[in-house]
Amino acid sequence: MEWATTTLALYGMGGAALATSLMTLRRRLHLSHAKHASLAGHARIARRLAALVPFYEYDEAQFFNSDGAPADIAARRRAGFERLSALYATRFAETIRCSAEAAASISDLQFTDAYRVPFQYSGYARARLPSAAFVQSSDGVTVTDLDGNRFYDLTGSYGVNVLGYDFYKEAIERGAARVRALGPVLGPYHPLIAENVAMLKEISGLDEVSFHMSGTEAVMQAVRLARYHTRRTHLVRFCGAYHGWWGDVQPGIGNPLPAHETYTLRDLSEDSLRVLQTRRDIACVLVNPLQALHPNAGAPSDSALLDSARRAHFDKVAYGNWLKRLRAVCTEQNIVLVFDEVFVGFRLARGGAQEYFDVRADLVTYGKTLGGGLPIGVVCGRCDLMKRFRSDRPADICFARGTFNSHPYVMAAMNEFLRHLHTPQAEGLYRDLDRTWNERAQRLNQRLRAEALPVAVANMSSIWTVCYEQPSRYNWMFQYYLRAEGLALSWVGTGRLIFSLNYTNADFDAVVDRFVAAAKAMEQDGWWWGNPAVANRSIKGAILKEMIAHRLFPERGGNWR
Ligand SMILES: Cc1ncc(COP(=O)(O)O)c(C=O)c1O
């Protein structure tokens, strides 16, 4: 009898263990189905492979014919390149001189310089088309370099510049005047903070606010709060999404350590919803609505533009529906839904992505433009999620500080920004925003098509990306032609153009003319010479082969024999 009971108990325990293992296996399978097939969806593999990529660069001849172009095309490219190089040397002389001098001691400049174009071409291009990283003034939608050249600004200052530089100059000045009596006193607050809090609550539709110094810190705090209140460990981010440079939200290339408590899931995917429905360790889901423009792909940068595979397309309805489904699953599973609106907040609509897509989040992070031109990060959230201590467990707290949080000058510039959002002028600005920018994108595309140029833009409101329509290894050269035409881009080049909303039709027409002129010049110089036998896939294949050869035979300069 006793023996039978023991056997039964063992069978029971075995059965339970088997059931648990099967469930764990099922959850693992769900997780692997929910990973995007690209390397961006596999952070660990991406990091390991990145460590294997060898450095090599093209010599002078290869620089002009790495795609096997015939001699006459290579000669046209060379002539065009030399013309551009001479133009840079004269027109941007002082700006280039200052940049070169500063770069020796500014690590950030060294990094951005090195990664403007694919590394195989970078050394040769950098030596002859050096970076000109200084400007001395801004005015309207333009910036002026140290040589007095005025450029239409398409950098948008990383997205900060929504209302135009002149607005922020005034916001900073007016704000500074209002808090001058207090000065840089930290700890106690200047009274105008109360108005900021009231306006942020109204705009976000959420109960409480916390102030930080950058978007990265706001995201860190949102995730920390979600973990504290759910008592769960993991955050979910979607493939390709940027949420600042903190380790847990940057699990792939760029972070020397693996992020053990991060799941990177496929955007717009049923499989990802199933992971959220079945795992018990997920504290929060982070959404960067900018991904709607290029779901599952990282921020487009010309440093990776070795072919023409870059794609972007924005479908507001489809992405909005996806967010609604995500909202429903998060509510059902008590997962905190965080909208990271550091980039898109106040750019798409006055009420940000929540209003634009008509979906409410539990926590929202803001930054960039909200500081009225000064550094900022903000978290708005439900009061139960924002609380940093437990009334019944006094030692169980969720710590967050930051010396410069709520700096009076930042709060004052923010106040000017938020007050402006409540003016009829700002309301008018947001009313026709998408129509204005969609029409402008269409207008530019029509011009490019009419000239039979293999370039097109895709846009999400005022955030644009340049796509290339015929397979080519040389699209990254376009950034230099655009600069020569007086268009200023950020270091990611043509991957991201950001317009401020004060662009008039006349300003925009000037940008279109210059953009088309740049594309024509690049075309005439032979960079888009098309070999009908070449497809994006074959370019990728050829580059992979080069990398393997350089890895295996570095002493032979990457030659197979
Ligand atoms: C969506 C998003 N989150 C967070 C950040 C990080 O903000 P910051 O650069 O102010 O730290 C950025 C910056 O580009 C961003 O675009």
Q: Is 80 in the pocket of ligand 1 (CB under 6 A)?
A: no
Which atom of ligand 1 approaches the CA of 375 most closely?
10
Number of residues written out for the chain:
561
Element (H, E) at 264: strand 262-265
Pairing of strands 262-265, 234-238: parallel
Distance 298 CA to ligand 1 centre (A): 14
d(CA 288, CA 323): 11
Q: pLDDT 10s digit of each residue in the chain, 561 long?
A: 566 677 777 777 777 778 778 888 888 888 889 999 999 999 889 999 999 999 999 999 999 999 999 999 999 999 999 999 999 999 999 999 999 999 999 999 999 999 999 999 999 999 999 999 999 999 999 999 999 999 999 999 999 999 999 999 999 999 999 999 999 999 999 999 999 999 999 999 999 999 999 999 999 999 999 999 999 999 999 999 999 999 999 999 999 999 999 999 999 999 999 999 999 999 999 999 999 999 999 999 999 999 999 999 999 999 999 999 999 999 999 999 999 999 999 999 999 999 999 999 999 999 999 999 999 999 999 999 999 999 999 999 999 999 999 999 999 999 999 999 999 999 999 999 999 999 999 999 999 999 999 999 999 999 999 999 999 999 999 999 999 999 999 999 999 999 999 999 999 999 999 999 999 999 999 999 988 888 999 999 999 999 999 999 888 888 877
Considering the entire predicted model, what is its pTM?
Answer: 0.94
Joined tokens for residue 552: 């295996």
Res 3: pLDDT: 62
Res 83: pLDDT: 98
Q: Is 345 in the pocket of ligand 1 (CB under 6 A)?
A: no
Strands (E), 461-559: 463-468, 487-488, 497-498
Coil/strand/helix, residue 394 = strand
Res 203: pLDDT: 97
CA nearest 367: which of 186, 176, 214? 214
Res 464: pLDDT: 98
Res 557: pLDDT: 82
CA nearest 414: which of 260, 213, 561, 236? 213
d(CA 48, CA 482): 35
d(CA 348, CA 356): 7
Closest Cα to atom 7, ligand 1: which residue? 215
Closest Cα to atom 5, ligand 1: which residue? 244
CA nearest 46: which of 291, 266, 251, 309? 251
Which atom of ligand 1 approaches the CA of 216 most closely?
11
What residues have CB less than 8 Å from 134, skipping those under 6 apart?
Answer: 95, 98, 99, 102, 145, 146
With contact defined as beta carbons under 8 Å apart, do 103 and 109 qualify?
yes
Which atom of ligand 1 approaches the CA of 290 most closely?
1
d(CA 478, CA 494): 8
Joined tokens for residue 125: 């291009």
3-state helix, strand and coil shares in percent for the chain, rounded to the nearest 5: 50, 10, 35
Q: Is 339 in the pocket of ligand 1 (CB under 6 A)?
A: no
Res 1: pLDDT: 53
Res 2: pLDDT: 66
With contact defined as beta carbons under 8 Å apart, do 359 and 320 qualify?
yes
